[in-house]
Amino acid sequence: MSHAASHPSNLSQVEEIRMQVMWNRLISVVEEQAMTLLRTAFSTSVREAGDLSAGVYDPQGRMLAQAVTGTPGHVNTMAEAVRNFIAEIPREDMFPGDTYVTNDPWLGTGHLHDITMVTPSFKGNELVGFFACTAHVVDVGGRGFGADGKSVYEEGIQLPIMKFAERGQVNPTLLKLLRANIREPNQVIGDFYSLAACNDVGHRRLIDMLDEIGLPDLEALGDFILTRTHAAMMERIAALPKGSWSNEMLTDGYDDPILLAAKVTIEDTRVLVDFDGCAPVSRWGINCPLIYTKAYACYAIKCVVAPDIPNNSASLAAIDIASPVNIVNAQRPSPVSLRHVIGHMVPDVVLGALAQALPGQIQAEGAGALWNIHISARPAAGQEGRRAEVLMFNSGGGGARPSVDGLSATAFPSGVHTMPIEATEHTGPIVIWRKELRPGSGGDGQYRGGLGQVIEIAPMEGHEFEFSAMFDRVNTPPRGRDGGQDGAAGSVMLDDGTRLRPKGWQFVPAGRRLILKAPGGGGFGDPAARDAEAQAGDQRGGYLDEDA
């Protein structure tokens, strides 16, 4: 394969190499930006779990590079979000030292818990670009992180696109409003500061870099990056089979099952995903703004078509998304707090369509949505103790791949980590008695689905808690592919056998334990074809027996 043809011809060979090198540098600038966020953040969702993203944009708002650290639901939404900031804040109101903020689900990253900050980067008086970052904070007031809001107004405080800081001065009115409206003000306001700090670090590095190489702005480098990426994407899409393929998948929903449907069309120069046929908007907060649906649809396509091509505006531009108004294209003021529950299912729907275009090459379905749990703990009636908001991210099993077993208890499509339970137990009065693999939950196959996990959580003595359930695949287990069997469905119960609902706020009294069993991934291929050594390994490790 020769790339010579796609080179912009006006660059000398030496110039060409300098541009390549600066592209790498730009990626390292945003990685530094993300590391700063991890090191300074307060919420465990950011500092332990990496639920964040960071990126750099040109003055038109085109994303040029993103940090490797981060999660697709943030990165690909933020790619669009910066344009919304540019539309809202006129150029003449942008000053060096400014930082802008929003948590608007439709302009940002899909729900109020994600705070997006954008910082203009000035070289002298010249606007050379923007830095943006997003992180999931532990509280935004309202009903808390859960599906029970009837509209976005109940889901927390809404911050329209506005200034967090102007010319270096933090907006004191905004801080006062936040303090009055959120449950863990120190943690959340601390996170606002770290988001701003991380953009500042990115900005300082960018200016150093431009000074060093003697470039006035990002224009030449940006054009180089986007032209190159576009050419590579076109080459990849050209190599794909052309046509349209459809897939449907049932998920649990809140009270009724929700059908998700996608038609993937591969044309000569683009991939189109159409979500016509998905269930209508839900009364519950599991709806997705289209910006978030698009983020995960693009992610799935890119994993298959161009995993090695850096993510930026040009790689995302080759993928188009369409949907009528429905659960994956919910309009304001629909409730969207748990948009990830549906959004994380989008890749399995899209991959199922691609499996028809590329038979034998696409993994089975997996747990999909993270098994997140938000706990509001408090002293039991008449007891002394502590109140706290505790957030945990947990993952079920991944779908088996065409040549290798599925990943056990590993996030996909999300890019977040779990929090160490030792860190989680410091944040509130709870005890996590168990967090380990769930044997027998992986779908059998030539390649076995990844195992889910079992988690047992109890209030600390003298305490009780409410928790927000946001669990899926309890009624609709991940399906196997090409003869592989389905993964095990999830379950939610108390240790006395009481069955609980997979969604909504529920109560765990003092003295009881909540038991969560996250689903396993689907298998791939005929179980009879499973390698003998792999079978022996399954037996030795006790990966197959539920109670081993």
Partner 1 sequence: MTSTQITSTQMTSTQMTGQSIRLGADIGGTFTDVALDCRGQLFSTKVLTTYSAPEQAILDGIAVVIEQAGIAASEIELVIHGTTLATNALIERRGARTALVTTQGFRDVIEMRTESRFEQYDLNLKLPLPLIPREDRFVVAGRIGAQGQELQALDEAALEELADTLKAEGFGAVAIGFIHSYLNPAHEQRARDILAAKLDVPISISSEVSPQMREFERFNTVCANAYVRPQMETYLYRLQQRLKDMGAGCPLFMIHSGGGLISVETAAAFPVRLVESGPAGGAIFAADIAQRFGIQRVVSYDMGGTTAKICLIEDFQPQTARTFEVARSYRFCKGSGMPISIPVIEMIEIGAGGGSLAWVDAMGRIQTGPESAGSEPGPACYGRDGKRPAITDADLALGKLDPDNFAGGKIKLSKTAAEGAIAREVGDKLGLNAEAAAFGIVEVVDENMANAARVHAVENGKNISDNLMVAFGGAAPLHAARLCEKLGIEACLIPQGAGVGSAIGFLKAPFGYEALSSQITALSRFDAASINTLLDELKHTAESFVLQGASGAIEREVVAYMRYAGQGWEIPVPLPDRAFTADDAAMIKDSFRQRYAQFFGRPVEGPEIEFVTWSVKAQDQRPAPEAVTLDWRGQGGQVGALGNLRAVFDAAKGAPQDSQIVERNQLSAGQRLSGPAVIVEDETSTIVTTPFDAIMQADGSILLLRKGA
Should residue 101 be labelled a site residue for partner 1 when binding is judged by CB under 8 A? no
Q: Are 344 and 294 in contact (CB under 8 A)?
A: no
Instruction: Locate 460 and state its tokens.
Output: 């600390």
Q: Which of 11, 32, 219, 494 binds partner 1 (CB under 8 A)?
A: 32
Measured from the CB atom, the residue of 33 and 326 that comes closer to partner 1 is 33
Measured from the CB atom, the residue of 414 and 485 that comes closer to partner 1 is 414
Measured from the CB atom, the residue of 152 and 203 that comes closer to partner 1 is 203
Q: Which of 263, 417, 501, 512 binds partner 1 (CB under 8 A)?
A: 417
C-alpha span between 483 and 444 (Å, rounded):
9
Closest contact distance (angstroms) between CB of 285 and partner 1 is 24
241 residue type, one letter: P
Should residue 169 be labelled a site residue for partner 1 when binding is judged by CB under 8 A? no
Should residue 193 be labelled a site residue for partner 1 when binding is judged by CB under 8 A? yes
Q: What count of other Cβ atoms lies within 10 Å of the Cβ of residue 80?
A: 19
Which run of H or of E encompasses 357?
helix 346-357
Q: Could you say which residues in the range 59-78 bind partner 1, by CB under 8 A?
A: 68, 72
Should residue 125 be labelled a site residue for partner 1 when binding is judged by CB under 8 A? no
Residues counted in the chain: 548
Q: Which of 104, 148, 200, 472 binds partner 1 (CB under 8 A)?
A: 200
Q: Could you say which residues in the range 376-395 bind partner 1, by CB under 8 A?
A: 393-395
Should residue 401 be labelled a site residue for partner 1 when binding is judged by CB under 8 A? yes
C-alpha span between 386 and 461 (Å, rounded):
11
Should residue 535 be labelled a site residue for partner 1 when binding is judged by CB under 8 A? no
Q: Count the site residues for partner 1 by CB under 8 A.
A: 93
Contacts of 374 (CB under 8 A, 6+ apart): 144, 145, 146, 389, 390, 391, 467, 468, 470
Q: Could you say which residues in the range 261-320 bind partner 1, by CB under 8 A?
A: 302-304, 307-311
Q: From its phi and psi, is residue 462 left (phi > 0), alpha (psi between -120 and 50) or beta?
A: left
Should residue 35 be labelled a site residue for partner 1 when binding is judged by CB under 8 A? yes
Measured from the CB atom, the residue of 143 and 438 that comes closer to partner 1 is 438
Closest contact distance (angstroms) between CB of 279 and partner 1 is 27
Q: Which stretch binds partner 1 (CB under 8 A): 96-104, 268-276, 414-422, 523-531?
A: 414-422
Q: Are 415 and 425 in contact (CB under 8 A)?
A: no
C-alpha span between 260 and 279 (Å, rounded):
6
Q: Which stretch binds partner 1 (CB under 8 A): 54-62, 117-125, 190-198, 287-295?
A: 190-198
Should residue 20 be labelled a site residue for partner 1 when binding is judged by CB under 8 A? yes
Instruction: Locate 513 and state its tokens.
Output: 């334990």
- Coil, strand or helix at 326: coil
Q: Dihedral sign, CA of 528, 478, 481, 292?
A: negative
Should residue 25 be labelled a site residue for partner 1 when binding is judged by CB under 8 A? yes
Q: Which of 404, 498, 499, 531 binds partner 1 (CB under 8 A)?
A: 404
C-alpha span between 302 and 350 (Å, rounded):
11
